[in-house]
């Protein structure tokens, strides 16, 4: 890439595991900057997926995110991260969040204090990766003289945080090495999130760089209407659980919740205005998609990680993006 901003590709989730390696090799060859492995429950494992991508590529940065802080104990998460980091030095980014609350509740893992869970998980994971011994009893996690036999040896793995609301974003600015913003964000949300992150950085007296990666639902086609129609279905899937911080900032929470109450996914799919698809996804012709990516960069995203909806032809989408979208940036 020649742009000063990054372009990433999100794999995992709806992309079958057997297609991940081929798609990642294509993305590296086509000039993408980062590959991110989403861990949406219960699709594809993020850690195993990251290992597949790292093994299939040689240079590209691989982001793990977002893994749920409560799905794995931080000691086990640190062990997995260090294992990958020691073999693929300097190529890994770790992303930790709570996870979609509905999915976390399906596993009986929703913590009484999500903020405490994230603070304890992020700080303990970073300490263990550094080779420190952790001996604390927190509100969510306990450690009895835990240390890694094989801590990191080379460049420290950045531990970034995913979050939606103001307190989570402030916590990310305070304790994490970067932030990952969820799909269906608006430009105003990205700007708003950056402000909340900066508040946390000030609170934590952080002077280091804090990169922000934005996941974006992505559909590109020479037929822009066809691309928007496919993105619409994916947007409805992610919004069928109702409002959150993303929709609050965008100003559609009341309207969205009314649709959800009327009929869940199908009602959201059929009833959402076209403007939601226009503003909350990157969908359209290559020229339109390039303009939307640039707009998210301008709003404050250091990297825009494209989350393709056409999972049955992922290699074609990667190549079309490299040939027709990236040169326009």
Are 176 and 245 in a shared domain? Answer: no
> Does residue 1 lie within any of the structural domains?
no
Residues 227-239: b if buried by 16+ CB within 10 A, e if exposed = bbebbbebbbbbb
- Residue identified by tokens 């306990």 is 142
Quote the number of domains for the chain: 2
Each of the 329 residues of the chain gets a pLDDT tens digit; together they read 445 799 999 998 878 899 999 999 999 999 999 999 999 889 999 999 999 999 999 999 999 989 999 999 999 999 999 999 999 999 999 999 998 888 899 999 999 999 999 999 999 999 999 999 999 999 999 999 999 999 999 999 999 999 999 999 999 999 999 999 999 999 999 999 999 999 999 999 999 999 999 999 999 999 999 999 999 999 999 999 899 999 999 999 999 999 999 999 999 999 999 999 999 999 999 999 999 999 999 999 999 999 999 888 899 999 999 999 999 99
- Same structural domain, 85 and 179: yes
Between CA 8 and CA 293 the distance in angstroms is: 11
Whether 318 and 248 share a structural domain: no
* Same domain as 286, residue 245: no
Is 271 within a domain? Answer: yes
Quote the domain boundaries for residue 314.
6-223+280-328
Are residues 251 and 106 both part of a single domain?
Answer: no
Residues 6+ apart with CB under 8 A from 18: none
- Same domain? 122 vs 235: no
Q: In this structure, are 217 and 228 located in the same domain?
A: no
Q: Are residues 153 and 257 in the same domain?
A: no
User: Rounded to an integer, what distance in angstroms lies between the CA atom of residue 161 and that of residue 176?
Assistant: 6
CA dihedral 181, 185, 187, 193 (to 10 degrees): -40
Q: How many CB atoms lie within 10 A of CB 274?
A: 9
> Among 242, 259, 279, where does a domain finish?
279
d(CA 200, CA 172): 7
Same-domain status, 172 and 268: no
Domain termination residue (choose one: 255, 279, 303): 279
Q: Name which of 216, 213, 272 is nearest 240 in CA terms.
A: 272
Residues 89 and 174 occupy one common structural domain:
yes
């Amino acid at each position: 890439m020649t742009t000063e901003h990054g372009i990433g590709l999100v794999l995992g989730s709806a992309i079958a595991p057997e297609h991940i390696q081929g798609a990642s090799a294509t993305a590296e060859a086509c000039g993408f900057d980062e590959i991110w492995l989403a861990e949406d429950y219960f699709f594809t494992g993020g850690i195993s997926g990251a290992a597949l991508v790292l093994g299939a590529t040689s240079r590209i940065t691989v982001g793990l995110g977002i893994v749920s802080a409560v799905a794995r104990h931080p000691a086990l998460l640190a062990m997995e991260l260090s294992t990958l980091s020691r073999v693929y030095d300097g190529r890994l980014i770790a992303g930790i969040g709570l996870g979609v609350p509905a999915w976390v509740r399906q596993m009986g893992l929703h913590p009484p204090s999500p903020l405490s869970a994230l603070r304890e998980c992020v700080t303990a994971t970073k300490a263990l990766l550094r080779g420190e011994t952790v001996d604390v009893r927190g509100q969510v996690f306990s450690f009895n003289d835990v240390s890694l036999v094989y801590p990191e040896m080379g460049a420290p793995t950045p531990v970034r945080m995913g979050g939606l609301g103001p307190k989570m974003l402030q916590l990310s600015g305070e304790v994490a090495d970067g932030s990952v913003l969820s799909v269906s964000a608006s430009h105003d949300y990205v700007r708003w999130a950056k402000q909340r992150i900066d508040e946390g950085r000030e609170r934590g007296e952080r002077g280091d760089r804090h990169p922000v990666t934005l996941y974006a639902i992505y559909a590109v086609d020479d037929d822009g209407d066809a691309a928007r129609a496919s993105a619409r279905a994916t947007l409805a899937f992610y919004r069928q659980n109702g409002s959150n911080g993303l929709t609050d900032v965008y100003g559609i929470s009341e309207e969205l919740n009314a649709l959800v109450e009327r009929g869940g996914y199908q009602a959201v799919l059929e009833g959402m205005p076209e403007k939601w698809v226009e503003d909350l996804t990157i969908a359209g012709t290559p020229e339109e998609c390039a303009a939307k990516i640039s707009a998210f960069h301008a709003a404050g995203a250091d990297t825009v990680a494209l989350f393709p909806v056409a999972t049955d032809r992922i290699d074609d989408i990667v190549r079309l993006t490299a040939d027709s979208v990236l040169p326009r940036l």
